[in-house]
Structure 1
């Protein structure tokens, strides 16, 4: 029993990775029910997704730095408690406006958990095994994204509000478990952490790759849903099954991607994911066979993990202070790319459906290799890289 209690906080580090994407995506499959209950259309109800992700991405620009100042363990536990409270508020919201406010607060609370959990993992795991640890964290994030529509759909069979009750209960459990004892000491925190220490040229370049990697891969799921209906005539259930393949690939492969990073390095793995992902996005958007599209979308989930786990490893594996702030900035860029993709790409799809897939793929293939920095030289600073 003592051994189990000692292992629970370590397991909670990974479980926290599940909660964020799950909370962001849980409403996707129950938008018609939310709309009917709050007196709006399903399209208007979709703003509950944007409300969460937009605030989530914006708050992560500084949440890692503030969390380091306030103390990781204290900040994470407080954020979980706040997440639970606003989840109950969402469950009780009588109007869409109040639901949107609760969703925004959910995103803000989540922003004070994800980057700090990643930084905590970096503090626990030896550098040579960091890739596989972050790979497991990535698998939990992929699992959250993959199962959220299913759980939301089941809850909506009774009442969509129960999905938020589940979120509140999960957050309370995670708050009770907390962080491992080795991370509860003030020695793991940095009361002098500054945002400008995280906003270095190297971190911003890695953040750009994260933005491209998510915006041009996972962020195009909505676009594939459009094509699945317009070109192949799939039903909503069939479209949902098709989109789930991306997250399933992340669950199955993230751990192996982390092991690959430990062997060949973060930059090479990111470039492998960017180039293969670009080719797969073009396939998803142009090939007239639904079987080929489904297979390519699954493999795109693998390519996405190469990029996302790779950028996290690159920034957390660097020497120097405020690693929590640095990974927070990179995660902000990542989810900002996902939030911007519908606004940027939908008009292109209206004009030319194939171009809506090809243009992001080309940007990913060209800009990611140019932006992704190499590893820091031994004894160097985070701004110095090998050529």
Structure 2
């Protein structure tokens, strides 16, 4: 009986890894569809309310530069549990915030808490997955991240129909449950905690790690990070309303989720670097298509293919780190930090270009995908 209970506990902890993959981006994007309601509650404009997204992502990306190394030092399982507990407290603070400034501060704390879970979940997954099935495991992880990101506006909008605070109550409950479940124990990682933090940080900031991270940043920023431009083109080019726009944007996450097993298996078969290059090639065609295709249904099909391209790119990048001697929590943390930093910079970089010439707004990121990423990727990441 004790053996069965331990097996069940281990299986539950592994399931918690994937649930945690969904929660992070879901909590980040939960405010996207409730900006008018947030603005009304706090007496600010919807444009000002959009700072709630930035307030989450900036500290999330910044802290993640070193959170993985700190988490490995403190203990992977312990750090993740504390991170989830902090996420619960920050979510409750969002509910109770009496001013918009306090709400933004609480959102920043959510981002910091998530920075201490996401890279360590990936590191734990890499330690738990057999080497020949690492791509498949990362495929499921990445697809659930995409599903969390794309479904967050839908659930946030539904909650806001009654009271936007219900959305934060929901994520607080889920984070509390994940804190109770924890993640699989890793005795090898626990034994390595005595390594000096400075050594761990230096290892995480090696040139190979930084090159992979920059490739991840460009891939995320020039593909998935263009969802705002897809929405602009649907509105300005076709007159599509908010509901249909949301459905078109969601198809990328759905496509990534449905093809997770296929993409992960493909990464294991064709190799990590090659899968990134295939994803880059498909992604560039998708971006050009979204900017040039003449019908809404064509844009929707192209964006769905973009979800598959994103999975090939990101699963390949993560496998390049986790499947080599680079694969520490600190290295994963740096790569993820640069990835989300690239997504945060995407609107700043491409919105002025789009407004100057809508087609050029898509052609330039497509060109960056096919030229910069192959040059950045190391052939042998170790």
Q: TM-score, normalised by structure 1?
A: 0.94
Is 2:257 the counterpart of 1:228?
A: no
Deviation at 1:189, TM superposition (A): 3.9
Match of 2:86 among 79, 82, 89: 82
Deviation at 1:190, TM superposition (A): 5.2
1:206–1:330 contact (8 Å) kept in structure 2? yes
Is 2:15 the counterpart of 1:11?
A: yes
Deviation at 1:290, TM superposition (A): 1.2
Q: Residue 334 of structure 1 corresponds to which residue in structure 2? A: 339
Within a 5 Å distance, the mapping from 1:58-73 to structure 2 comes to 58-73=62-77
Q: Residue 207 of structure 2 corresponds to which residue in structure 1? A: 201
2:213–2:334 contact (8 Å) kept in structure 1? yes
Q: 1:252 to 1:41 in 2, by over 3 A?
A: same
Is 2:273 the counterpart of 1:279?
A: no
Q: Residue 385 of structure 1 corresponds to which residue in structure 2? A: none
Counterpart Cα distance in 2 of 1:170 and 1:64: 22
Is 2:302 the counterpart of 1:296?
A: yes
Q: Residue 317 of structure 1 corresponds to which residue in structure 2? A: 323
Q: Residue 269 of structure 1 corresponds to which residue in structure 2? A: 275
Provide the aligned length of Structure 1 versus Structure 2. 376
1:23-58 CA distance string (max 9 Å, x none): 011111111111111101111101101111111111
Within a 5 Å distance, the mapping from 1:61-140 to structure 2 comes to 61-140=65-144
Deviation at 1:156, TM superposition (A): 0.5
Query: Whose helix fraction is larger, Structure 1's or Structure 2's?
Result: 2
Counterpart Cα distance in 2 of 1:79 and 1:184: 21
Counterpart Cα distance in 2 of 1:330 and 1:254: 21
2:124–2:186 contact (8 Å) kept in structure 1? no
Is 2:371 the counterpart of 1:362?
A: no
Match of 1:343 among 348, 360, 382: 348
Deviation at 1:182, TM superposition (A): 4.2
Aligned-residue CA RMSD (Å)? 1.4
2:73–2:192 contact (8 Å) kept in structure 1? no
1:120–1:183 contact (8 Å) kept in structure 2? no
Deviation at 1:191, TM superposition (A): 3.6
Q: Residue 156 of structure 1 corresponds to which residue in structure 2? A: 160
1:312-362 CA distance string (max 9 Å, x none): 000111125x61111111101110011001111111111111111110110
Deviation at 1:129, TM superposition (A): 1.1
Deviation at 1:201, TM superposition (A): 1.1
Counterpart Cα distance in 2 of 1:323 and 1:197: 9
Deviation at 1:202, TM superposition (A): 0.8
Match of 1:174 among 168, 173, 178: 178
Is 2:262 the counterpart of 1:259?
A: no
Match of 1:374 among 376, 379, 382: 379
1:21–1:141 contact (8 Å) kept in structure 2? yes
1:71–1:190 contact (8 Å) kept in structure 2? no
Q: 1:222 to 1:145 in 2, by over 3 A?
A: same
Q: TM-score, normalised by structure 2?
A: 0.95
Structure 2 residue runs without a partner (length 5+): none
Structure 1's consecutive aligned runs of 4 or more residues displaced over 6 angstroms after TM superposition are none
Match of 2:146 among 119, 128, 142: 142
